[in-house]
Structure 1
Amino acid sequence: MTEFCTRCLDYIEKIIMAIIGIMLMIMTASMFYQVVLRYIFDNPNVWAEELARYLFVWITFVGSAVGIRRNKHLTIDYFINLFETRTKALLHLVIYLIILGFLIILLKYSTILVLRTTSTLSPGMMISMAIPYSAIPVGTLLMILYAIELILKQFSVLKSIKSCDKKRKLNKNVDIIKEG
C-alpha cells in the first residue's frame, strides 16, 4: 500500500471522526431537549427523538468503517492463534475477503432500499426516509474502502513472511554448507 493512499485514508478517517463527534453532540443535545420538554414542560415533541434515532444509525454505520480500519470489531481468535504465522495470515486474508464480499452485497441491497424509500416521509421530521437509510450504503462504502486496505496490507504481510521464510531457508543452507 502506497504512503499516499495511506495518508488519504488517514485523512478520510479524521473527517469521519469529526463528523461522528458533531453527530454525537447534536444527538445528545436533541435528547436533552426532548427530556426537558417531556418531563419539565409536559409537552414532548416528535422530531427530537426521531433525529436522535437517525443520528444514532448514521454514527453506527459510519463508525463501523473506522472500526474495520482499526481492526476493533469483535473477533474470536482462539482457533486462529493455534496456527503458525503464515497460516494465520492466510486465514485473516480469507476472513477479510469474506467480509468484503458481504459488504459488496450489503451495498447493492442497501442502495436499492434507499432508492425505494425516496418518496416515503418520516413521521416526525417529515424528511425523506432515504436520508436515514443512506447511512447504510455510505457506511458500507467506507467499510469496503477500509476492507480493501486491510486486504492489501494482509498481502504485504504474506509477502514479508514468504521473504523471511526464504531468508531462513537460505541461512539454513549456508549453515549446512559451513558444517560440511
Structure 2
Amino acid sequence: MLDHTPSGLFKVFSVVKHWLDKIVSWFCISIITLMTILVTYQVIVRYVFNDPSAVSEVLSRYLFIWLVLFGSALVFGLKEHMAISFIKEKFSQKTQIIVEAFIELAIVTFALSIMIFGGYSSATRQMWQLDSALQIPMGTIYAAIPISGALMVFYFIYNELQLVERWKQLRSSAE
C-alpha cells in the first residue's frame, strides 16, 4: 500500500478555508448579535414608547438577508447543507465521491450563474437607488449576493480538491 500525502494545493486551500470559516462564522455571529440588539430596541420603542423605528426594522431585515446568504455559503463549505445521505451511503465509496461531485457541481452552477453573475449585475444596477429608510445604495445591500456566491465557489473548489484527495486514497489503498 502506498503512502498518500495531500497535495500542496490542497494544503494551501485548507489553510485558507480554515481562516475563511472563522471570518465568515464571526461575521454571521456579529450579524445575529446586531439583529438581536436591533429587534430588542424595536420592541422597546414600539411597545414602551409607542414610537416605532423604521431604521431598525429595515436594517434588521437586510441583516437577516445577509445572514442567510453568508450562512448558506458557510454551511456549504462545512458540508452541513441538506442532503439525502441515507441514499448516498448505499453506494460504493467511489460512487459516493462521484455523486458528491455532481451535487456540488449543481450548486456551483447556481452560485456562478445566479449569485455571482446575476447578483453582480443586480447590485451594480441598484447602486444609484437609495433605500428610503437608511439612505444607502441598494447595490450595497445586494452586494451580499455575489460575495456569498464567490464564497460558495471557493468552497466548491476546496470540496472538489478534497474529493480528489479521497479518490487518490481509495486508489492507493486498492493497490
TM-score, scaled to structure 1: 0.87
Q: Which amino acid aligns with 1:63?
A: G
Segments ≥4 residues shifted beyond 2 Å: 1-5
Name the SS for the 2:134 alignment partner: coil
The AA in structure 1 aligned to 2:27 is I
Distance, in Å, in 2 between the alignment partners of 1:35 and 1:20 is 22
Deviations 1:85-130 (A, max 9, x none): 1111111111112222221112111110101111111121121111
Contact 2:77 2:155 in 1 (8 A): yes
**Structure 2 CA distance, aligned partners of 1:20 and 1:129?**
20
- 1:6 deviates by 1.0
Q: How does 1:82-97 map to 2 (within 5 A)?
A: 82-97=90-105
Percent of residue pairs bearing the same amino acid type:
27
RMSD: 1.3
Q: Which has the larger radius of gyration?
A: 1
Structure 1 window deviating more from structure 2 (91-100 vs 146-155): it is 91-100
1:128 is the counterpart of 2:140? no
Per-residue Cα deviation, 1:55-93 (whole angstroms, up to 9, x for no partner) = 111111111121011111111123222211111111111
- Tell me the distance in 2 between the aligned counterparts of 1:87 and 1:22: 40
Larger RCO: 1 or 2 (CA < 8 Å, sep 6+): 2
Say which SS state the counterpart of residue 78 (structure 1) adopts.
helix
Q: Can you give the 5+ residue segments of structure 2 that lack an aligned partner in the other structure?
A: 1-8
Q: Report the number of matched residues.
A: 166
Q: Which amino acid aligns with 1:140?
A: G
> Gaps spanning 5+ residues in structure 1: where?
168-180
Given that 1:90 and 1:158 are in contact with CA atoms closer than 8 Å, whether structure 2 keeps it comes out as: no
Alignment partners' CA distance in 2, 1:84 and 1:131: 46
Counterpart for residue 60 of structure 1? 68
Name which of 84, 92, 107 aligns with 1:76: 84
Matches for 1:145-156 after TM superposition, within 5 Å: 145-156=154-165
One-letter amino acid of the counterpart of residue 145, structure 1? F
TM-score norm. by structure 2 comes to 0.89
- Whether the aligned pair in 2 keeps the contact of 1:69 and 1:147 (CA below 8 Å) is yes
Q: Distance in 1 between matches of 2:92 and 2:25?
A: 36
Give the equivalent residue in structure 2 for 1:118.
Answer: 127
What's the secondary structure of 2:69's corresponding residue? Answer: helix
Q: What does residue range 25-64 of structure 1 map to in structure 2 within 5 Å?
A: 25-64=33-72
1:18, distance to aligned residue in structure 2 (A): 1.5
